[in-house]
Structure 1
Amino acid sequence: VSHPGVEVPRSVPAIIHGLKYHAGVPSESIEWHGHNDYYASVTNSTTSWLYGGSSVNTTLFGIGERVGNTPLEAMVVEYAQIKGTVKSMNLQVINEIENYFEKELNYDIPPKTPFVGSEFNVTKAGIHADGLLKDEEIYNSFDTKKILNKPPLVAINSYSGIASLAYWINSYFGLKGDDKINKNDERLIPVKNKIDEEYEDGRTTNISNEEMEKFANTHIFNYMNNEKAI
């Protein structure tokens, strides 16, 4: 564990300290190999860095025996936070690797997996969507579009309000500046009514992107086919 005051063999700081100062092992020869049995692989791996270890063993998406290894993408983000910069790093490659694993290898990544899951930066709460509409930094801890090429999104369901619809349309169609849809735009009302009708008829699933695109083209852009109109 990473907590101070814990004794060997449970203490990560004590293990690294002991190897360096009592066993004389140089930092460049110390590497940490962790598994996620206690949900602590990333924390322990980062702690080993901070106390003098030079390397961390990782696997893409934490794939490994039992509960998996330390995820490579997690440690890349940890490294960037420790250094305070992503200079000379292209973290958007993480998104490309994710797409490759899913499309070419048919590997299913749990949707809520940090940084790579399809829902890791998707909100379903209306109040969160309203905050995103006003200032993205309120609910998005970093610029996921710039760094990972994964813009924050909202899932549209029976609990979605007008603000969620406005944010979805702006994000999906890439609307900027004066072209952005405001939550007070009256054109959103028929879209909201159509969605409400779906759930009044017994629907339980989220509204798909394809359905939302059609609603937006019909009621927002007065565009009656499936092409995006920006």
Structure 2
Amino acid sequence: MASKRIEIMDTTLRDGEQTSGVSFSASEKLTIAKLLLEELKVDRIEIASARVSEGEFQAVKNITKWAKENQYLDRVEVLTFVDKGVSINWMIEAGATVQNLLTKGSLNHLTYQLKKTADQHFKEISEAIALAYSKGIKTNVYLEDWSNGMRNSKDYVFEFLEFLKTQNVERIMLPDTLGILTPSESYEFIKEIKNTYPDLHFDFHAHNDYDLSVSNVMSALTAGADGLHLTVNGMGERAGNAPMASTIAVINDFMPDIEIGVNEKVLFTVSKLVENFSGIMIPANKPVIGANVFTQTAGIHADGDNKKNLYFSDLMPERFGRTRKYALGKASGKANIQKNLQELGLQLNDDDLKKVTQRIIELGDKKEVVTKEDLPYIISDVLDSYSYEEHTKVNSYVLTHAKGLKPSTTVSITIDGETYEEGASGDGQFDAFMKALHKIYNKRAKSLPDLIDYAVRIPPGSHSDALCETIITWKNGKNEFKTRGLDSDQTVSAIKATEKMLNIITS
């Protein structure tokens, strides 16, 4: 069977902007429009609703100016209304040449919202289309609430389509406005329409209220839909619209008879840009574009990837400009760690790898995610820990810090089998900890090395929950040495570095 070319219309800048709390600036709209047409290579973009605001007018003007200069103007569309030419005049001033005319696709909407008969509505639509044509503007028509129209007033929908067949219309747009359709209904309704009007172009516009939008899109395409309306990151009112990334992946992998022109490689880039501009964060488990969707967490999965890619599917991250990651945490196995070491260009022998694996599992119990960038610090900490025999153990400590009071601590440590407990206050929690230690070691008639340098660092690009590596330089007489501590809490990492120092001076 010959493949069928499907048009992809992106409506992120119009329907997607109806996401609660989202408003793109004119410059953001222009940036997104350029990316959608030049990089993502969608067929058409719907960029605004006519008459909304002065800011919207300026945004449309900027986009149409750029589009005209780059031969994209006929692919830029604006939502308009049956309003006796007000929308058309707005479009002309803004430089747009394709209107998406909003009409009523259900008898319920027509009767109770417009309070008009079908003939009255069709007459006004005909006048709007004729006026647009006389001004050089092409018309596509939205049948708002079409899905409810097919369920509850099918005769009206087909009467409407009979009328539209006689009009100068490029495309008829069939929206599931409230996201109520099931996949079987999507197929049945569009199949019936395409069988009746095989020569007309029909777009399907899905919403995601029941999380069925991608399934409904598949059914609509199987039934013969000619175009789809999608949004980046599935943005849109309520639960949003059919998401661009998932839909494109599904079409490419499961619908070999459908041909589309979208460039998969930049889906992730566009998604991240829209995330930044909109302020609506992409869920970590969002298919194709989520932070976690190409991350293996279980060690058995990483091991399987090492053995003939047992956990790979056609949904490869490289298709979308991404890479596979192997999470480090309490579920990690050696295979996860080896994968991350390979990316860092590091190698460990089996014994050291076991030690590092155990430490990562321990850290994972306290910290949900250990990053690849944490690994060098963990390795350094672990190998340093095994370079001496443990004579001294910090059993427990209580650190207090309250506004208006000096920080204080109570410490319990065991030295060569004997346990000591002391408390002290200081200029900071760590200072209080060190003063308590001095009290303990004074009892043993032993002095502690001087702390001459204290450095804290976190992996580049990390956040507030990052692992901290504290490196302390000590001076014991004429000798200087360093110890390292690693923890997600800065004070605790310093205490761990100090514990290592205590073992070194005791050994």
**TM surpasses 0.5:** yes
Q: Does 2:368 align with 1:194?
A: no
- Does the 8 Å contact 1:140/1:152 carry over to 2? no
In structure 1, what is the Cα distance between the partners aligned to 2:260 and 2:220?
A: 23
Q: How does 1:32-181 map to 2 (within 5 A)?
A: 32-81=204-253, 82-83=255-256, 90-103=263-276, 105-136=278-309, 138-142=310-314, 144-170=316-342, 172-173=343-344
Gaps in structure 2 of 5+ consecutive residues:
1-149, 152-181, 384-457, 461-507
**Count of paired positions:** 204
* Secondary structure in 2 matching 1:109: coil
- Does the 8 Å contact 1:16/1:52 carry over to 2? yes
- Does the 8 Å contact 2:206/2:242 carry over to 1? yes
- Does the 8 Å contact 1:17/1:52 carry over to 2? yes
Equivalent residue for 1:20? 194
Q: Give the % identical residues.
A: 23
Query: What TM-score do the two structures reach when normalised by structure 1?
Result: 0.74
**Corresponding letter in the other structure for 1:17:** K
Go from structure 1 to structure 2 and tell me whether the alpha carbon gap of 1:21 and 1:122 turns closer, same or farther (over 3 Å shift): same
Go from structure 1 to structure 2 and tell me whether the alpha carbon gap of 1:107 and 1:196 turns closer, same or farther (over 3 Å shift): same
- Does the 8 Å contact 2:299/2:335 carry over to 1? yes
- Does the 8 Å contact 1:122/1:155 carry over to 2? yes
Instruction: Quote how far apart the aligned CAs of 1:32 are.
Output: 0.9
In structure 2, what is the Cα distance between the partners aligned to 1:74 and 1:226?
A: 32
Gaps in structure 1 of 5+ consecutive residues:
1-7
Go from structure 1 to structure 2 and tell me whether the alpha carbon gap of 1:101 and 1:169 turns closer, same or farther (over 3 Å shift): farther
- Does the 8 Å contact 1:213/1:226 carry over to 2? no
Go from structure 1 to structure 2 and tell me whether the alpha carbon gap of 1:169 and 1:106 turns closer, same or farther (over 3 Å shift): farther
Instruction: Quote how far apart the aligned CAs of 1:153 are.
Output: 1.6
Instruction: Quote how far apart the aligned CAs of 1:159 are.
Output: 2.1
**Corresponding letter in the other structure for 1:191:** V
In structure 2, what is the Cα distance between the partners aligned to 1:86 and 1:50?
A: 13
Instruction: Quote how far apart the aligned CAs of 1:117 are.
Output: 0.2
**Corresponding letter in the other structure for 1:61:** N
Instruction: Quote how far apart the aligned CAs of 1:59 are.
Output: 0.7
Equivalent residue for 2:407? none
Equivalent residue for 1:203? 366
- Does the 8 Å contact 1:123/1:155 carry over to 2? yes
Go from structure 1 to structure 2 and tell me whether the alpha carbon gap of 1:92 and 1:86 turns closer, same or farther (over 3 Å shift): farther
In structure 1, what is the Cα distance between the partners aligned to 2:277 and 2:380?
A: 32
Go from structure 1 to structure 2 and tell me whether the alpha carbon gap of 1:25 and 1:226 turns closer, same or farther (over 3 Å shift): closer
**Corresponding letter in the other structure for 2:369:** N
Instruction: Quote how far apart the aligned CAs of 1:148 are.
Output: 1.3
Structure (1/2) with the larger strand percentage: 2
* Secondary structure in 2 matching 1:32: strand
Query: What TM-score do the two structures reach when normalised by structure 2?
Result: 0.36
RMSD between aligned residues: 3.2
**Corresponding letter in the other structure for 1:198:** L
